[in-house]
C-alpha cells in the first residue's frame, strides 16, 4: 500500500511539472505589451486623451473669423397712420411680400490675450490627459508585476511542497520497513502521516490561490478565459542592478508623473490669471457686412423696392464693470497659483520620502535574501544530520519532524526572499515612474 501511495505522489509531481512546462511562459515585458494592447483602463484614459486633442483643435478654431448668414421671407400686412392723439386714422397700403438677406463677418484682432490663454489652457489639458494616461499605465503595470510575482511565488511554493511531500513519502516508507522490523512504533508513522496530510492541504490551498490569481491576470489583460501561462522560469536568475539612492532620487525628479502633473497645474492656474486679466482689457475686431432688405419701410408711403448696403469697420468693446467685478476673481486666480506651487513642493517632499523608504526596503530585501540563503544551508545540514541520527536510532521522531518543518520553512523563505528582491526593484521603478 505504501508503494502504491508513493507511486501516486510521484505521478502527481510529474503531471504537475508537465503542466507547468506546457504553459506559455510570459516575461514581465510581455505583460506590459499585452496591457497596452488590451487593458480597458488604459484604453479609457487613451480615449480621454483623444478628447483633449479635439478640445485643443476647437480652441485654436477661435482664432478664425465669425461669419453669419441670415435670409428670410415674410408677409407684410397693411399699416395704419394716426395723429399723435391717435385721431384721424389713415390706412397705409403696404407691399405684402418682404425679404431680408444679411452676410456678416467679424475677426477678433485683440482680445486681451483671452484667445491665446484659451488655447494654452487646452494645450495644458491635453498635456494633463497625457500624464493621466501615462500614470494609469504605470499603475496597471505595477499591479501586473505584483500579480505576476505572486504567481511565481505560488508556483515555487507548489514545487517546494511537492518535493517535501515526496520526501515525506520516502520517510514513511522507511518507517514502515523499520516498523516491520520492530524498531519503530505505529504512533511514529501516524504522526508523519499527519504531516503528509498537512502538506497535501497546503498544496491544495496554494493551487487554488494560483487559480484565482491566474484568473485575475487573464481578466486584467482581457485574454481568452482558456488562456494558460506561467511566469518566466529564468526570472530568479535575473541580475538586479542596485543604483544609489541619489540616482533613484534624480530619476524620480525627472520622471515622476505626479510631479509633472503638479507642475502642469501651476501653469494651468497661471493661464487662468491671464484669462481673468484679459477681462479688464478692450476687445478689438474687424467687421464687414452685406445687407439686402425690402421693402423700404422708413419712408411713407412705403417703397416697394430692395435696399442694398454694406460696410466695413473696426469695433472696440470695453467692459467698464470688469474694473470692479473682476478684481476678486483675479485675486482668487492668483491665490490658486500660489496653492498649486505649494502643492508642487509638497509633492516633491512626498516623492523624496517615498524613494527613500523604498530604497531602504530594497536594501532590506537583499539582507533578507542573504539571511534566507544561510537559513536554507543550515536547515539542509540539520535535516541530513537529524535524518542520519534518526536512522541510527539516536534522535527522536519529534526531532525529525522539527528538522523537516525547518527545511520546508527555509525553502519557502528563500524563494519568497528572491521574489521580494525583484518586487522591491520594480517597486522602485514604479515609485520613480520608470516602469
pLDDT digits (tens, 9 = 90+) for 150-187: 888 888 888 878 887 887 887 788 778 777 777 667 77
Domain ranges of the chain: 2-64+113-281+344-431
Pick 2 or 127 by higher pLDDT: 127
Indicate if the pLDDT at residue 266 is higher than 90.
yes
Helix (H, G, I), strand (E, B) or coil at 310: strand
Most distant CA pair in the chain, distance: 144
Grid cell, residue 279, equals 477681462
Contact 411, 168 (CB under 8 A): no
Q: What's the pTM value of the predicted model, to 2 decimals?
A: 0.75
Average pLDDT value for the chain = 84
Tell me the chain's radius of gyration from C-alpha atoms. 40
pLDDT digits (tens, 9 = 90+) for 106-117: 988 888 888 888
Phi then psi dihedrals of residue 307, to 5 deg: -120, 120
Between CA 400 and CA 382 the distance in angstroms is 10
Residue 303's pLDDT band, with cuts at 50, 70 and 90, is confident
**Burial of residue 30 (number of CB atoms within 10 Å: 0-12, 13-18, 19+):** middle
Indicate if the pLDDT at residue 299 is higher than 90.
no
pLDDT digits (tens, 9 = 90+) for 15-53: 343 333 345 677 888 888 888 888 888 888 888 888 999
* CATH architecture for the domain at 2-64+113-281+344-431: Up-down Bundle (1.20)
So what's the pLDDT on residue 11? 40
Return the percentage of the chain with pLDDT > 70, whole number.
93
Amino acid at each position: 500500500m505504501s508503494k502504491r501511495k508513493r507511486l501516486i505522489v510521484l505521478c502527481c509531481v510529474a503531471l504537475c511539472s508537465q503542466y507547468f512546462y506546457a504553459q506559455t511562459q510570459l516575461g514581465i515585458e510581455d505583460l506590459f505589451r499585452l496591457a497596452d494592447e488590451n487593458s480597458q483602463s488604459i484604453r479609457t484614459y487613451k480615449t480621454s486623451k483623444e478628447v483633449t486633442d479635439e478640445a485643443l483643435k476647437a480652441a485654436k478654431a477661435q482664432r478664425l473669423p465669425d461669419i453669419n448668414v441670415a435670409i428670410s421671407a415674410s408677409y407684410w400686412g397693411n399699416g395704419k397712420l394716426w395723429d399723435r392723439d391717435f385721431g384721424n386714422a389713415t390706412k397705409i397700403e403696404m407691399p405684402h411680400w418682404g425679404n431680408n438677406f444679411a452676410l456678416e463677418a467679424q475677426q477678433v484682432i485683440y482680445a486681451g490675450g483671452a484667445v491665446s490663454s484659451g488655447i494654452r489652457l487646452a494645450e495644458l489639458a491635453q498635456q494633463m490627459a497625457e500624464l493621466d494616461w501615462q500614470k494609469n499605465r504605470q499603475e496597471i503595470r505595477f499591479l501586473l508585476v505584483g500579480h505576476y510575482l505572486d504567481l511565481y511565488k505560488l508556483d515555487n511554493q507548489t514545487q517546494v511542497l511537492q518535493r517535501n511531500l515526496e520526501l515525506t513519502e520516502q520517510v514513511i516508507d522507511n518507517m514502515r520497513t523499520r516498523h516491520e522490523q520492530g524498531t519503530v512504533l505505529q504512533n511514529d508513522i501516524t504522526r508523519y502521516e499527519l504531516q503528509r496530510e498537512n502538506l497535501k492541504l497546503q498544496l491544495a490551498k496554494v493551487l487554488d490561490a494560483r487559480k484565482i490569481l491566474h484568473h485575475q491576470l487573464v481578466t486584467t489583460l482581457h485574454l481568452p478565459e482558456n488562456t494558460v501561462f506561467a511566469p518566466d522560469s529564468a526570472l530568479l536568475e535575473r541580475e538586479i542592478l542596485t543604483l544609489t539612492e541619489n540616482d533613484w532620487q534624480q530619476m524620480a525628479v525627472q520622471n515622476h508623473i505626479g510631479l509633472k502633473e503638479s507642475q502642469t497645474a501651476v501653469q494651468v492656474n497661471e493661464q487662468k490669471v491671464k484669462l481673468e486679466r484679459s477681462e479688464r482689457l478692450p476687445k478689438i475686431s474687424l467687421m464687414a457686412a452685406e445687407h439686402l432688405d425690402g421693402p423700404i419701410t422708413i419712408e411713407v408711403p412705403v417703397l416697394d423696392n430692395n435696399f442694398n448696403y454694406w460696410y466695413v469697420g473696426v469695433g472696440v468693446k470695453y467692459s467698464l464693470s470688469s474694473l470692479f467685478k473682476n478684481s476678486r476673481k483675479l485675486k482668487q486666480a492668483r491665490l490658486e497659483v500660489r496653492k498649486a506651487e505649494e502643492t508642487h513642493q509638497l509633492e516633491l517632499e512626498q516623492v523624496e520620502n517615498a524613494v527613500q523608504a523604498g530604497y531602504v526596503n530594497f536594501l532590506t530585501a537583499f539582507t533578507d535574501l542573504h539571511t534566507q540563503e544561510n537559513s536554507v544551508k543550515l536547515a539542509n545540514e540539520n535535516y541530513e544530520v537529524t535524518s542520519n541520527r534518526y536512522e541510527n536510532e539516536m534522535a527522536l521522531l519529534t526531532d525529525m519532524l522539527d528538522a523537516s518543518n525547518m527545511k520546508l520553512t527555509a525553502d519557502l523563505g528563500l524563494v519568497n526572499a528572491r521574489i521580494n528582491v525583484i518586487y522591491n526593484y520594480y517597486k522602485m521603478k514604479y515609485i520613480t515612474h520608470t516602469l
